[in-house]
Amino acid sequence: MSGAELAGVAAARRRPKVTEVEQHGIDTIPDHLRTSSPLDLFRIQFGGANTFATIILGTFPVLLGLSLVQAAAATLVGVVVGALILMPMGLFGPRSGTNNAVSSGAHFGVRGRVVGSFLSLLTAIAFYSISVWVSGDALVGAAARLFGVPDSELIRAAVYAVLGALVIVVVIYGYQFMLLVNKVVVVGNTVLILLGIVAYASVFDFGYDPGPQAYALGSFWPTFVLSAVIVMGNPISFGAFLGDWSRYIPAETTPARLLAATFFGQLATLVPFLFGVATATIVAGEVDYVFALIQVSPLWYTLLLMVVAFLGGMSTGVTSLYGTGLDFSSVFPRLSRVQASLFIGGLAF
């Protein structure tokens, strides 16, 4: 396109309303509808991981016996290496205008990419279920401490159902609603998590070190590598879905901006990861991390943890389910994006 043509397309672009149900499935997004930016790609990645599910992953290095410093180092290595591996996957969407599952057909063939679609399906179901489960447990635990709500299987099931249903509603509306949720989570959960520095300052031990006898694999390096690999799995898990979100970015966007959005979007997840590392040292030895953390939290921060849990459950669930709905509709063309999302959501429920 010439400069004048690009200017005309840019002027014609109008971001749809949040309450407009997204009509596009895996078909190529027209130029005039590509209203997103690399910043939006950053927001969706960071928002989708700025949650209790990531916090739980952050506790693993400590659970495996590493000291605070060692656990933080393993987490940093895992996030950075995972982000570097993930970075190129954000380039497909703007160029192809469709999701990564369809784009991958050029590499693996129509049949070959079904394997990737199946793995993406399992990943999405896992993250959707985990996000609802972990966030629901945090909400029930906090409500029990603050308001005396009984902690029963029925109450938990009801909370899971409400969270799961809200996620499905957002996914039905589509990309713009998902982006709004993640914009809120990027700012809201970051502020709330950072307030944990104040909440746990009096009980935090910077010198936490259980000693060499605590290493889960018997010695430092195997335990360190395992911890880093567990953390690394989080950014890599986004690989199948980046095209689902970046396809709304204009094709003329420079690769450097897309690569940077992905790298820094994942680097920002050090906020929830390191929160998990730090708080795991406070409740080390407890069987139920979420319940134990709620019990040692100041009352004012217990209330904030409920907000973190709710927002985080929404963002992780939505980003996971949205991509798989698209992917599933490409494998079964008779299903629209909405129908496929409802099916996967019901299956994960």
Q: Are 60 and 231 in contact (CB under 8 A)?
A: yes
* 3 assigned to some structural domain: no
State how far the Cα of 337 lies from the Cα of 85, in Å rounded to an integer.
Answer: 29
* 23 assigned to some structural domain: no
- Average pLDDT of the chain? 90
* 219 assigned to some structural domain: yes
* 324 assigned to some structural domain: yes
* 204 assigned to some structural domain: yes
**pLDDT for position 68:** 98
* 13 assigned to some structural domain: no
**pLDDT for position 323:** 82
Q: Given a cut of 80, is residue 194 above it in pLDDT? A: yes
CA nearest neighbour of 175 among 291, 286, 20, 334: 20
Other C-beta atoms within 10 Å of 141: how many? 24
> DSSP states of 94-115 as a string?
HHHSS-HHHHTHHHHHHHHHHH
**pLDDT for position 55:** 96
**pLDDT for position 287:** 85
Q: Are 261 and 41 in contact (CB under 8 A)?
A: yes
Q: Are 70 and 220 in contact (CB under 8 A)?
A: yes
Q: Minimum mean pLDDT among 77-86, 113-122, 164-173, 329-338: which range?
A: 113-122
**pLDDT for position 256:** 97
**pLDDT for position 110:** 65
Task: For the chain, report the end-to-end CA distance as a whole number of angstroms.
Answer: 46
Residues 6+ apart with CB under 8 A from 47: 181, 182, 183, 184, 185, 186, 189, 315, 319
Confidence band for 167, pLDDT divided at 50, 70 and 90:
very high
**pLDDT for position 76:** 99
Q: Given a cut of 70, is residue 313 above it in pLDDT? A: yes
* 136 assigned to some structural domain: yes
- For residue 262, give its domain range: 33-94+106-348
CATH code of 69's domain = 1.10.4160.10
* 15 assigned to some structural domain: no
Q: Given a cut of 90, is residue 39 above it in pLDDT? A: yes
State how far the Cα of 17 lies from the Cα of 67, in Å rounded to an integer.
Answer: 48
CA nearest neighbour of 172 among 10, 295, 336: 336
- Domain count for the chain: 1
Q: Given a cut of 90, is residue 81 above it in pLDDT? A: yes
